[in-house]
Chain A
Amino acid sequence: MAEDQNKILDEVTGGEYKYGFYTDIEMDTIPKGLTEDVIRMISAKKNEPEYMLEFRLKAFEKWQKMEMPDWAHLNIPEIDFQDIIYYAAPKKKPQLESMDDVDPELRATFDKLGIPLDEQKILSGVAVDAVIDSVSVKTTFKETLAEKGIIFCSISEAVHEFPDLVKKYLGTVVTDSDNFFAALNSAVFTDGSFVYIPKGVRCPMELSTYFRINAMNTGQFERTLIVADDDSYVSYLEGCTAPQRDENQLHAAIVEIVANERAEVKYSTVQNWYPGDKEGKGGIYNFVTKRAICKGDYSKVSWTQVETGSAITWKYPSCILQGDHSVGEFYSVAVTNNYQQADTGTKMIHLGKNTRSLIVSKGVSAGKSQNSYRGLVKVSKRADNARNFSQCDSLLLGDRCGAHTFPYLEIANNSAKVEHEATTSKIGEDQIFYCNQRGLSTEDAVGLIVNGYVKEVINQLPMEFAVEAQKLLQISLEGSVG
């Protein structure tokens, strides 16, 4: 019977990665490996001011003394950091006004992905900053944003044009000594996005960035910095899909968020890096450091993530609740299939008084995958009346996958109230047969059950992103049956 069930589940979960194609855009790369010279070369290629080069070199020095962390519930193959190309930029770097000017090849890729980097997007009020590999190709809606004093540009641009802001905030939330991958990123990051919302401004549109890994053997080191000044609000979306390939690829991004007094930041991600094939070959290694600081009183940061991709995911979007009455939220769906491994969760660090945090984590495991939730709730001595509620649910498809929950608590203040709930459930073959009997295909049945299960998290996403997220869930779990 177990065998039968596995047969059904194989069918259900055996969908090939639909977005496995890759664009043939000429690349401008530098030799493999990481040395001080390579860092100087990256900095020079990007024509960076001296302060950036110093930032990188300092991080590189620290990185050389660090070792890869091994505490996650992951089985990480040896990574040869000298066998990676640390910089790739599309050769034809266009200065574009309209979609017509975009490389047709690239447009076709976006079309295949269903990414509406065109009128549709603009009509729906989203400014798009598309990142192909490491260099930002196109930014739209800048003018509308500029009117409000909002800055939304590539980080390379910001390094040149807003050095004061960059110097003030870059590396303050995630320091270069934070962890191995953060140090690496600080040394070699190539590009990413920069957002600054001035005091009292409510960003009138969702800001979104699409990332793609697109060059053979090229590590991706994105760097994003979002600063929301007093009384401001912004909702930021980041989503990605990657082309299929055979070799493991390293991805080590950093996202830093600063929320000042009464500011609110919503950060949503749909992550769909290539997860490797059915045998577990290939796929992206995704080691991300995402952290927000609720610096001001009454500030709020909310992370929402839908993780369906990557061979290995290591990611803990966190909130440092420094301001009194500040709020941190973490909503997560992590789906693993085949041989995927995910170790993800959050850290809520309560420093201020009356700070609150909410964690809703939904793991879905299928195939032979391993899915771990790792969460830390820390309440410091002076954080009176801190509140946390954590809900960690796991859903299993089949009996060859694993779900693990590692909640850590460090409470140094007696007035803290911390609650943790966890459940594990399983999609049974009887449930699927019941749906089949009503005329639903197995993939629709799984889709319906999984989407019901993750509803609470998906509801946090902006409308159109929610639809995209559901599609991704469909793809990563259901595929084309039969």
Chain B
Amino acid sequence: MLVIKDLHAKIEDKEILRGINLEVKPGEVHAIMGPNGAGKSTLSSVLAGNEKFEVSEGSVSFNDKELLELSPEDRAREGLFLSFQYPIEIPGVSMVNFMRTAVNEHRKYRGEDPISASEFLKLMRDKKKLVEIDSNLTNRSVNEGFSGGEKKKNEIFQMAMLEPKLAILDETDSGLDIDALRVVANGVNKLKSPERSTIVITHYQRLLDYIVPDYVHVLYKGRIVKSAGKELALELEEKGYDWIKKEFED
């Protein structure tokens, strides 16, 4: 599904990704952990096509397509979804209008007709239930004035609406209260299927109790320096990153 090979990316001549290699197969859940500033969000931004970052080397294939050659919107339409660490507010644009445009763009890309109003409302209703999001939120402008946790929930709501093939969740757990964390994790799990994959970026083992990863990777200074099964997360929780840093620096 996703194959990243020797990916290098920089911003303002500062190299942040320094040779990432990663393969995600259909149905898999990968967790990416790592200290602040390691490049986790940068990796997700680069995969999503944020032009702030310049890719200087490497290749990424997604569903057998050259991901890096696609526009950000086409990456999304191909089924790549990014739940932002810091979701953006878009005043004046209603959630309903925004989601309807998004859903229809995805459908158009697949050669389908636009969704009917009634179908769309039903879809909204179903997905709202799934992530237990307050109806008031979806009647407002995109993320405008949402609390930190509400924004995160809204990301997962949008993910549920768009049913991506690959979802990258960038610290979706941060800012969520304990109940919301469980709800959001349940939402993610309900969307799981043998075709759909997830990359979970997190600092905490807690989320991984709910969304159980097949692999855990440690990103440090722009490289994946360690990969293992879900037990690695537990080990990190216990010991922190120092031992890995030391291992890496040697």
Binding site for B on A (CB under 8 A): 1, 4, 7-8, 425, 428-431, 433-442, 444, 448-449, 452-453, 455, 482
Chain B residues, Cβ within 8 Å of A428: 88
Chain B residues, Cβ within 8 Å of A434: 84, 87-88, 90
Contact, CB under 8 Å: A437 / B82: yes
Contact, CB under 8 Å: B84 / A4: no
How near does chain B come to A478, taking the closest CB pair, in angstroms?
13
Given known contacts A430-B88, A439-B106, A448-B93, is B162 in contact with A8 (CB within 8 Å)? no
Contact, CB under 8 Å: B51 / A435: no
How near does chain B come to A179, taking the closest CB pair, in angstroms?
36
Contact, CB under 8 Å: A437 / B48: yes
Q: In the docked arrangement, what's the CA distance between A449 and B142, Å?
A: 10
Chain B residues, Cβ within 8 Å of A8: 51
CB-based A-B contact count at 8 angstroms: 81
Interface of A is mostly: helix
Q: Does B18 contact A (CB under 8 A)?
A: no
Chain B residues, Cβ within 8 Å of A4: 51-52
Contact, CB under 8 Å: A431 / B102: no
Contact with A along B36-80 (1 / 0, CB 8 A): 000000000000111110000000000000000001110111000
Chain B residues, Cβ within 8 Å of A429: 52
Partner of B102, one of A438, A442, A452, A482: A438
Query: Nearest B residue to A427 by beta-carbon distance?
Result: B90
Partner of B90, one of A444, A449, A455: A449
Query: Nearest B residue to A425 by beta-carbon distance?
Result: B91
Chain A residues, Cβ within 8 Å of B93: 448-449, 452
Q: Does B194 contact A (CB under 8 A)?
A: no
Contact, CB under 8 Å: B102 / A449: no
Cross-chain pairs A/B with CB under 8 angstroms, 16 sampled = A1-B12, A1-B52, A8-B51, A428-B88, A430-B88, A433-B51, A433-B72, A436-B72, A439-B102, A440-B73, A444-B105, A449-B90, A449-B93, A452-B92, A453-B91, A453-B92
When A and B form their complex, which 9 residue pairs have the shortest distance between CB atoms, in order from nearest? A452-B92, A436-B72, A439-B76, A434-B88, A439-B105, A438-B102, A452-B93, A436-B73, A453-B92
Chain A residues, Cβ within 8 Å of B77: 439
Contact with A along B140-179 (1 / 0, CB 8 A): 0100000000000000001000100000000000000000
Chain B residues, Cβ within 8 Å of A1: 12, 52
Q: In the docked arrangement, what's the CA distance between A453 and B84, Å?
A: 24
Chain B residues, Cβ within 8 Å of A425: 91
Given known contacts A430-B88, A431-B88, A482-B71, is B98 in contact with A436 (CB within 8 Å)? no
How near does chain B come to A177, taking the closest CB pair, in angstroms?
43
How near does chain A come to B243, taking the closest CB pair, in angstroms?
35
Q: In the docked arrangement, what's the CA distance between A4 and B53, Å?
A: 10
Q: In the docked arrangement, what's the CA distance between A94 and B49, Å?
A: 57
Q: A7-B51, A431-B90 are in contact. List 10 more A-B contacts (CB 8 A).
A: A4-B52, A8-B51, A433-B51, A435-B90, A436-B71, A437-B73, A438-B76, A438-B158, A439-B102, A448-B101
Chain B residues, Cβ within 8 Å of A482: 71
Contact, CB under 8 Å: A440 / B105: yes
Partner of A433, one of B50, B98, B102: B50
Contact, CB under 8 Å: B90 / A438: no
- Counting chain B CB atoms within 10 Å of each CB, which of A425, A431, A433, A455 scores highest? A433
How near does chain B come to A14, taking the closest CB pair, in angstroms?
16
How near does chain A come to B6, taking the closest CB pair, in angstroms?
24
Contact with A along B15-51 (1 / 0, CB 8 A): 0000000000000000000000000000000001111
Q: Does B94 contact A (CB under 8 A)?
A: yes
How near does chain A come to B119, taking the closest CB pair, in angstroms?
18
Chain A residues, Cβ within 8 Å of B81: 437
Contact, CB under 8 Å: B48 / A441: no
How near does chain A come to B151, taking the closest CB pair, in angstroms?
11
Chain B residues, Cβ within 8 Å of A435: 90, 98
Chain B residues, Cβ within 8 Å of A433: 48, 50-51, 72, 88
Q: In the docked arrangement, what's the CA distance between A433 and B94, Å?
A: 17
How near does chain A come to B93, taking the closest CB pair, in angstroms?
4
Q: Does B139 contact A (CB under 8 A)?
A: no
- Counting chain B CB atoms within 10 Å of each CB, which of A428, A434, A435, A438 scores highest? A438
Contact, CB under 8 Å: B88 / A448: no
Query: Nearest A residue to B159 by beta-carbon distance?
Result: A438
Chain A residues, Cβ within 8 Å of B109: 439
Contact, CB under 8 Å: A441 / B73: yes
Q: Does B189 contact A (CB under 8 A)?
A: no
Q: Does B97 contact A (CB under 8 A)?
A: yes
Contact, CB under 8 Å: A440 / B102: yes
Q: In the docked arrangement, what's the CA distance between A4 and B11, Å?
A: 11
Partner of B76, one of A436, A448, A449, A455: A436
Q: In the docked arrangement, what's the CA distance between A341 and B81, Å?
A: 40
Contact, CB under 8 Å: A448 / B98: yes
Chain B residues, Cβ within 8 Å of A440: 73, 101-102, 105
Q: In the docked arrangement, what's the CA distance between A335 and B20, Å?
A: 45
Q: In the docked arrangement, what's the CA distance between A428 and B88, Å?
A: 10
How near does chain A come to B56, taking the closest CB pair, in angstroms?
16
How near does chain B come to A11, taking the closest CB pair, in angstroms?
11
Partner of A438, one of B12, B51, B162: B162
